[in-house]
Structures are given as structure tokens and as C-alpha cells.
Amino acid sequence: MKKIKTALISVSDKKKLKNLLKILTKHKIELISSGGTYKQIKKLKFKCLEVSEYTNFPEILSGRVKTLHPKIHAGILSKRKNRSHNRDLKNNNFEEIDLVIVNFYPFEKTLEETNNHLKIIENIDVGGPTMVRAAAKNYNDVTVITSPDQYSELINEIENNKGSTSIQFRERMSLEAFSETAYYDAVISS
């Protein structure tokens, strides 16, 4: 079992967030978010730290760079039982991120709505798939969720395990996450 202490949430589809946030808050899980997700979490009256405040680095390039930061990715990718990784985190004043909840910009929907090449390009998600791949790679220590359809499973897992997730759950979510990124990239490539 891995106890979840910190969750990073960055979702395009903001439906179904309220029940999930209730459970995360109940288990005293710190929330980090950016952009529209941060605004939605605050609107729902939950405590949350904005990514730029967490990293001490502003969003740049008109929002193209928000979560692409060493503090985010080191927190996701660090092996919890690796002394060197723990030392690197400590030396850089970084923290572990135990749960990554991301769903991507709606690229397919954008294709249906416009043939404006510039709008299409701007709807290619970079930070989301990067975080998902990092979390999926490190499923031994990190839980990754890529769809609101997985929220109820996550809620059950957290409730049944007193704020923790099992390796079986994390591995299954990792497999689904890699399938999601592969599909997303295939749509873009096509």
C-alpha cells in the first residue's frame, strides 16, 4: 500500500470533481493544480495550491508551460525507496507527488469543431501526457488517473485502504494511462 499525501490535478473534463475532492480532502491529501482546474477547485470551495505557487515559477508562453517543471516531474518520478532520489528531492526542496489526475485537452473535439490549423495545434496537450507518462512509469509509487470514469474506482480504493492505493490498482491504472497516451498520440499523428 502507498499512502497518498499529495495529488496533482489538471483536467480538461471538470465534471465529477466534487465527490473526488471530498474524499481527497477527507484523507488530508494536499491538492496542487493549475489554470482552469485550479479555478474550478477553488469555486467548489476546496483548498488547493496553484502550480505556479508550488513551483515558485509562473506560467509562461501563454500557458503552454505550466507543469513542465523539475519540481513537478521529480516529485512524480522519484523512487521512494531510492536514497539518491530522496537526497535529490531534499537537496532541491522538492516533495513527492503520489497521485496524478489528468485528462487531456479534447483534441478530437477540436478537430470536429474547426479546421483552423493554429487552433488545432494549440489543442495538442504536452504537459498532461508528460505527467501521465511519468506517473504511469513510476506506478510502483504513484497512482495515475486519466478519466473521470475512473474516479469512482479511485474513491473506493482510497476509502477501502484508508487513504492508500494498492500496487495492483496502481499497475492497472498505469496500463490504462499508457493506452490513453498511445491513443491520444495516434489521433494527433493521424
pLDDT at 45 over 90: yes
Confidence tier at 104 by pLDDT (50, 70, 90): confident
Q: How many Å apart are CA 181 and CA 130, to the nearest integer?
A: 9
- Say whether pTM exceeds 0.85: yes
Tell me the average pLDDT across 96-105. 94
CA dihedral 168, 172, 177, 178 (to 10 degrees): 100
Tell me the average pLDDT across 6-20. 94
How far is residue 176 CA from its own chain's centroid?
Answer: 14
3-state secondary structure of 2: strand
pLDDT of residue 83: 97
pLDDT of residue 121: 87
3-state secondary structure of 13: coil
10-49 in b/e burial notation, b at 16+ Cβ within 10 A? bbbebeebeebbebbeebebbbbbbbebbebbeeeebebb
Least confident of 4-8, 39-43, 57-61, 144-148: 57-61
CB 143 within 8 A of CB 4: yes
- Widest distance between CA atoms in the chain: 50
